[in-house]
Homo-oligomer: A and B are copies of this chain.
């Protein structure tokens, strides 16, 4: 036999008072006498009462749950962001539903629909490489659902964003290569679509210009999958076709590690013959040989501020205040390790 759930009703019946009073007692309303409040609290504790969140959701029209869509979970950067988001969410008594788009626009669209249908209180998102300012994103805005983008954003969508200054960071990385004596610097860039790949490429170009190094489009290699293997393959191409390249700026550490693997295997000295700098400061980068120089991106903090921006929007929407769009740009930092220490 199943014991029945403890609801306001059973408490009310046992105490011979109304459901209303029970509810008020539990929520510290002022119009319930200390005596009855005490009796209610005690019985509630005894019967292990927990409010039925389904009913609360329906009544209050909020679920204290947010949705998070990211391209990949198994990814040092993204899992760190997740970490920041769920930590901050928990502090504020929010739960986080995580979905993974696998870099597929189609999946991403489905997932946005899922979250809208679930009526989450807000959505945090980093776009897939295929995605830009598409209808599904616009629908979120249109429905006035609190919405924050981070990292892989779309510039033209009007919403709060948490990013780094990719262009500036990339410039700094390339200037670091120049400062250690590199004269001919290749760039292994990310896919054509994502804004941060574009910005890092622009940063690369700008740093060259600033230092009177001619830009050569043949020295730019474009990743499709942003993988270890691509790094390996492009390193091979660079060495075979441009033996005078003495520095490589790579879109992200994972790819840079592929580059190092090729260079190591072919006994090309890093950094003496070719200096390499990555991006994102994956954990891996500090344990490989040679240790990889990189750009540190505050991933955990990104998660924290993305959640806090979202929370602000959630509150604003609840109080029917006008929406405030806020952009947070977090600082990056060049981490110099062996791969550029000439």
Binding site for B on A (CB under 8 A): 50-55, 57-58, 61, 63, 65, 73-76, 79-80, 82-83, 86-87, 90, 95-100, 111, 114, 116-119, 228, 257-258, 261, 264, 283-284, 287-289
Contact = CB atoms under 8 A, between A and B. Distances in A.
Per DSSP, are chain A's interface residues mostly helix, strand or loop, or mixed?
A: helix
Contacts of A75: 79
A73 B65 contact: no
Given A86-B100, A288-B288, 19 more contacts: A50-B117, A53-B117, A54-B58, A54-B63, A55-B58, A57-B57, A65-B97, A73-B79, A73-B82, A74-B76, A74-B82, A82-B98, A83-B100, A86-B98, A87-B100, A90-B99, A283-B284, A284-B284, A284-B287
Contacts of A76: 74
Nearest to A89: B99
Copies in the complex: 2
B53 A119 contact: yes
Contacts of A74: 76, 79-80, 82-83
Contacts of A118: 53, 65, 95
A53 B228 CA distance: 42
A50 B119 CA distance: 10
A40 B82 CA distance: 41
Nearest to A60: B54
Contacts of A52: 58, 119
Given A54-B54, A58-B55, A74-B80, A96 B98 contact: yes
B57 A86 contact: no
B50 A61 contact: no
Given A97-B96, A288-B287, A61 B54 contact: yes
Given A97-B95, A99-B95, A50 B116 contact: yes
Closest 3 A-B residue pairs measured CB to CB? A54-B58, A54-B57, A289-B289
A96 to B, nearest CB: 6
Nearest to A113: B50
A64 to B, nearest CB: 9
Nearest to A68: B98
A267 B259 CA distance: 24
